[in-house]
Amino acid sequence: MKKLALHWQILIALVLAILFGIFLPEQVSYISWMGDVFLRGLKMVIIPLILSSIITGVAGIGNSANLGRVGGKTMGYYLLTSTIAIVTGLFLVNIIKPGVDSGIELNSSVNSILNQHDSIGQTLIKIIPENIFQSFASGDMLGIIFFALLFGFFLTKIKAEYREPTLKVVNGVFEVMMKITMFIIRFTPLGILGLVAGVVADQKNIMDVATGLGSYFLTVLIALVIHGTVTLLLITYFVGRVNPFKHFRAMSTPLLTAFSTSSSSATLPLTMEAVENNGGVSQKISSFTLPLGATINMDGTALYECVAVIFIAQIYGMELSIVNQVMIVLLSLLASIGAAGIPMAGLVTITIILSYLGLPLEAVGLILAVDRPLDMLRTTVNVWSDSCGAVTIAKSEGEKLKY
């Protein structure tokens, strides 16, 4: 019998998981452990993978001029797509006005989330790790990326007798991590079955979607769909000269995993595997762009932050001036860059924008009820944008892809 393609296996697992979560919510612990095992497996490889991939990527790109060019293109793509995403959200939330006459009550509180937030200045300073081993231990991605970029860059500046063996070891570590990733990928359907059943069983507030929060949910959803299927598609096609539909097919496993895990970081190993093996992007480009993208390029999160803040302002009956709206765009961009690639990170960094506008931070409680499904959707767009960036940049560097 021919083996069913992985993305079909995952889709079947998704449907089964939803049915299980709806009809057997009490029994969900019998299968949700599979999700935990799968997530732990992915998390296990992330840090050695990011470290080794960025070092080999940067060292592979070579001299400062090449690095500057690829780095410039990568940052340009990330900032441009995130900004377009935010403007799409801004436009829709101003047209649909989900917060006007929504009948929502203002009384929830979410202290535990709000305590975790840093100011913008602190976030920037903390990019430089004080103790790199502590960064490894605590999973501080920005710190690890910063260190790896420097390490890769200065590795090219030392004598060949030291450079060559060091690079071989780091390359070896990278290859092993990718092999482990490919092994974990085989269990994706089971992992997704467990994860999604758990999430569905947990959604006690599903009715909220039908009531006051429904049009907010729809506004974010429509904006995400427009960004993912129109904007990114056009950029991939016209700038990258890549067939976006073939690229989408090639990315089905990481996209479904992003949806199920709500975590760009946890999905990163699968994104790299798909972009390299299915897409044919060189290791040096994917190793440089994707770990960076999973941490700072979050189009879906940026868009969602802008819509959510304006929705909250509408509920409080606050008139937003043009200056305020421009500031919301800028701060949404910063808040999305500062958000870690983990579940609910966007909900935490949104407080940066609320404090700027003088809105009470407790307002986050209003949108909490529908945050999980929105997190799944925005994470999918985050990963999709990273992957479109990787192929577009690879093409612009003269690489031949598989489609």
Closest residue to ligand ASP in the complex (CB): 346
264-273 and 29-61 helices cross at what angle (nearest 10)?
Answer: 60
Q: Is the dihedral of CA 120, 124, 130, 134 positive or negative?
A: positive
59 versus 268: smaller Cβ distance to ligand ASP: 268
Question: By the 8 A CB rule, do 92 and 222 touch?
Answer: yes
188 versus 267: smaller Cβ distance to ligand ASP: 267
* Residue 282 binds to ligand ASP (criterion: CB under 6 A): no
How many Å apart are CA 187 and CA 199, to the nearest integer? 19
55 versus 192: smaller Cβ distance to ligand ASP: 192
Q: Shortest gap between Cβ of 139 and ligand ASP (angstroms)?
A: 13
* Residue 257 binds to ligand ASP (criterion: CB under 6 A): no
* Residue 379 binds to ligand ASP (criterion: CB under 6 A): yes
* Residue 375 binds to ligand ASP (criterion: CB under 6 A): yes
How many Å apart are CA 39 and CA 18, to the nearest integer? 18
Question: By the 8 A CB rule, do 338 and 120 touch?
Answer: yes
Question: By the 8 A CB rule, do 370 and 216 touch?
Answer: yes
- The distance from CA 385 to its chain's CA centroid, rounded to whole angstroms, is 9
* Residue 264 binds to ligand ASP (criterion: CB under 6 A): yes
* Residue 377 binds to ligand ASP (criterion: CB under 6 A): no
How many Å apart are CA 13 and CA 20, to the nearest integer? 10
Q: Shortest gap between Cβ of 352 and ligand ASP (angstroms)?
A: 13
* Residue 298 binds to ligand ASP (criterion: CB under 6 A): yes
* Residue 81 binds to ligand ASP (criterion: CB under 6 A): no
The secondary structure element, H or E, covering residue 366 is helix 364-368
* Residue 378 binds to ligand ASP (criterion: CB under 6 A): yes
Of 333-362, which residues contact ligand ASP (CB under 6 A)?
339, 341-346
**Site residues (CB under 6 A) for ligand ASP?**
262-264, 298, 301, 339, 341-346, 375, 378-379, 382
